[in-house]
Chains A and B, each alone.
Chain A
C-alpha cells in the first residue's frame, strides 16, 4: 500500500501510454483492491495490483491470544466462508495437540464446509454476473444464500461470523429440526442451479464476454501460485479434498471438475459444476451422519457442557482454567492445508509450548491467486479486467489479513 501519487515503477513510457487508476473504491474490484493500469488506448500494457488497504494485522493479534480465542479472528479473514477458515485453523491446532475428533463432529464439519462452499460460490456467481451486466442473477443467488445463512444462524447463532468449529469438535450439537432444514435445501438446490444456468450458460452476451478472455496455461498457473477452481480450469487436476484428504473426505464420493481452456469461461464452468458436487458431498454427509458426541474427550482442552459445569466440580475447574489461562500446546510447528472455495488455504502455526502461539500464518488462496491477474490481463482490454477479477474470485479480507 502507499505511493498514492506518483508511482516510480509504473510510469508511463513516453507519451503513447497513460496510467489509469482503478480502485480501491471501484465496485467491480470486489473490495479495496487498487489496480494501476498502463494503457495504450483501451489495451492494457502493464498492470500492477496495489493491496494492503484492509490490513488489520490479524497475524500479529493472534500472537497475543490464547489458542481458543483465535477462532473468531479466523472468521474475519475470508468472510464469505468463515467455517472453512475455522476448519483449517482448528485442524492445524488439533494436529499440534494430537487430538482425535469424533466422527459426528467430522461429518458435521464436512457438511457445513460444503454448504459454505456453495454459499461462497453463490456470492461469486452473483457478483461475477453482475460485473458482466446480468443484474438479475445476483438476486437469484442471494435468495439461496439467504437460506444458507439461516441454516448457519440456526446452528451457531450467527449468520456470517459463525465460529462454530472449535478446537476439539463443535461448539454445540445442532438444534432440533436442523437436519430437516438442510435436507430441504439440498433437495431443492439442483433445480436452482439449473435456473442460474438457464440465465447464463446459453446467453450469447455472457459467452462473448467470457470465452477466450484472460487465458492462462496450466504451467503458468502453477508457476504463479494459482490454486483451486481457477487452477483446475487450466487443466491441472488437483483438489486437496480428493488427493490429500483431511477431515474424513476420503469417505465421500465426488467428481472434481476440470477444464482445459484456462479462460474465464472455463473457470465459470468449473465453479458451477462445483456447486453441484458440493451439494452431493453435503447430501452424503447428511445421509450418513453418525450419532455420538460432537466434542473430543479432552477435558483440559474442550470446554465442558453447561449442564456438567453446574453439577460437577471438576468440570467447573476445567472451565475456569481454560478460560483464564488457556491450555498449553506442545512445542512444534505444523502446516495444515485444506481446499477452500478459492484454493489452497493453509495455516502455519508455531508453538513454543505455551498457551499462546508463537506465530500464526495464513496462506490465503486469494493472495497468491491475485498474482496471476496481471498475466491474465496484459494485452487485453480494460473491460476484460472486470471479467478477470470476477473469475479468480478474490476476497480482499483474505488478501490483506
Chain B
C-alpha cells in the first residue's frame, strides 16, 4: 500500500465531523487541517485550545483524552508543537489537535479543567520541554529531580548530557 499524498485543503476536509464542528463554532480558531496516513490533524490557535477541547467534549464528539505530548522542531520558529490526541469511543475515531508555540517563554492554557487526565502529561511536558501550562494547579517536575537544570527533551539539550 503506497502512501497517499497528504490532504491539506480545508475545502476537501470540511465535511469531517471534527472539522465541520470546529469551523461552525469558530472558524478563526482553526489554523489549518491535514489528513495524512489516515489520521486527521487540526491546527488550533494557541489561545483557543482549551475552548476547542471543551467544545468537542460538550458536543459529544470526543469522550476520551488519550495522550498529550510535544515535539521540538528547533531551530525552526515557532519551535514547539503540542499534540493533543483525542478519541471518540462512541464513533471509534481519533483526532489530533495541534498547537504551535514559539521558543520564547512558551506557554499555553492548561486543559486540566476539561480533561483531568492531562495532569501528568502536562507536568511531563513542563519538565522535559519547559512549556508552562497556565492554570495547572501543581506544575512541578515529574521525571527529573526538582533541582535539575534544563529541559532534556529540547533539541538543544545534548543526548549524552553537558560535558
Contacts and interface: CB of A to CB of B under 8 A. Distances in A.
Nearest to A238: B89
Interface stretch (B1-9, B21-29, B43-51, B101-109): B1-9
B138 A9 contact: yes
A236 interface: yes
A99 B37 CA distance: 11
A201 to B, nearest CB: 30
Interface residues of chain A: helix, strand, loop or mixed (majority): mixed
A346 B152 contact: no
Contact of B71 (A243, A350, A367): A350
Nearest to B64: A222
A75 to B, nearest CB: 20
Contacts of A9: 138
B100 interface: no
A273 interface: no
B17 interface: no
A3 B115 contact: no
Contacts of B132: none
B69 A348 contact: yes
Interface in A61-83: 61, 63-64
A292 interface: no
Contacts of A57: 152
A350 B115 CA distance: 24
Contacts of A244: 92
Contacts of B117: 223-225, 368, 371
Contacts of A358: 71, 73
How many of chain B's residues touch chain A, expressed as a range? 35 or more
Pick from B1, B117, B121 the residue with the most CB of A within 10 Å.
B117
B11 interface: no
A335 B138 contact: no
Interface in B105-140: 115-121, 128, 138
A370 B120 contact: yes
Nearest to B6: A332
Contacts of A346: 66-67, 85
Interface residues of chain B: helix, strand, loop or mixed (majority): loop
Contacts of B69: 348, 359, 361, 363
Nearest to B81: A350
Contacts of B85: 335, 346, 348, 363
B143 A400 contact: yes
A143 interface: no
Contact of B159 (A64, A238, A330, A334): A64
Interface in A351-401: 358-359, 361, 363, 367-368, 370-371, 400-401
B143 A359 contact: no
Contacts of B120: 367-368, 370-371
Contacts of B39: 333-335
Contacts of A51: 142-143
A100 B1 contact: yes
A41 B136 CA distance: 31
Contacts of A64: 159
Nearest to B73: A358
Contacts of B152: 57, 60
B97 to A, nearest CB: 12
Given A98-B1, A243-B89, A359-B71, A1 B37 contact: no
A40 interface: no
A385 to B, nearest CB: 19
A95 B118 CA distance: 26
B23 to A, nearest CB: 22
Interface string A341-353: 0001010101000
Contacts of A144: none
A2 interface: yes
Interface string A16-38: 00000000000000000000000
B37 A96 contact: yes
A359 B65 CA distance: 20
A359 B72 CA distance: 8
A98 B2 contact: yes
A55 interface: yes
Contacts of B67: 335, 346, 348, 361, 363
21 contacts: A51-B142, A51-B143, A52-B145, A60-B153, A61-B159, A95-B38, A98-B1, A99-B1, A223-B117, A224-B117, A225-B64, A243-B92, A332-B36, A333-B83, A333-B96, A335-B39, A359-B72, A361-B69, A368-B117, A370-B120, A371-B116
Interface of B: 1-3, 6, 36-39, 41, 63-67, 69, 71-73, 83, 85, 89, 92, 94, 96, 115-121, 128, 138, 141-147, 152-153, 157, 159
